[in-house]
Amino acid sequence: MRIDKYLANMNVGSRKEVHKLIKAGSVTINGQKVKTPKEKVKENDLVEVNGQEIAYQQYHYFLFNKPKGVLSATEDLHQKTVIDLLKSKDRYKGLAPVGRLDKDTTGLLLITNDGQLNHELLAPTKHVDKVYEALVAGQVSQQTVEDFAAGMKLKDDTVLKPAKLEILSVDESQDRSKIRITIKEGKYHQIKRMFGAVGMKVLELDRLQMGSLHLDPQLKRGQYRELTEAELEKLKKSGE
Assess 144 for contact with ligand URA (CB under 6 A): no
Contact flags string 22-61 toward ligand URA, x per CB under 6 A: ----------------------------------------
Single out the residue of 65, 118, 177, 190 in contact with ligand URA (rule: CB under 6 A).
190
Single out the residue of 176, 178, 180, 189 in contact with ligand URA (rule: CB under 6 A).
189
| Catalytic entry in 90, 102, 129, 147 | 102
Cβ-count burial 166-191 (b if 16+ within 10 Å, e if not) = ebeebeeeeebbbbbbbbeebeeebb
Rounded to 5°, angle at Cα 87 from 11 and 64: 115
Q: Please, which residue, 154 or 170, has the CB nearer to ligand URA?
A: 154
Shortest CB 197 distance to ligand URA, Å: 12
Single out the residue of 191, 200, 213, 232 in contact with ligand URA (rule: CB under 6 A).
191
Measured from the Cβ of residue 164, the count of other Cβ atoms closer than 10 Å reads: 14
| Catalytic annotation present for 102 | yes
Single out the residue of 101, 108, 131, 152 in contact with ligand URA (rule: CB under 6 A).
101
Q: Please, which of residues 197-226 interact with ligand URA by CB under 6 A?
A: 205
Among the residue ranges 74-82, 89-97, 100-108, 172-180, the one whose residues contact ligand URA (CB under 6 A)? 100-108
Among the residue ranges 4-12, 31-39, 101-109, 161-169, the one whose residues contact ligand URA (CB under 6 A)? 101-109
Q: Measured in Å, how far apart are the chain's first and last C-alpha atoms?
A: 31
Assess 102 for contact with ligand URA (CB under 6 A): yes
Single out the residue of 62, 152, 192, 206 in contact with ligand URA (rule: CB under 6 A).
192
The span from the CA of 27 to the CA of 37, in Å, is 10
C-alpha distance from residue 182 to each of 4, 38, 162, 209 (Å): 46, 51, 9, 9
Q: Please, which residue, 117 or 205, has the CB nearer to ligand URA?
A: 205
Q: Please, which residue, 101 or 121, has the CB nearer to ligand URA?
A: 101
C-alpha distance from residue 88 to each of 10, 43, 61, 240 (Å): 12, 26, 15, 32
5, exposed or middle or buried, with CB in 10 Å at 0-12, 13-18, 19+? middle
CA dihedral 135, 112, 9, 41 (to 10 degrees): 150
Contacts with ligand URA by CB under 6 A lie at 101-102, 105, 189-192, 205
Residues labelled as active-site residues: 102
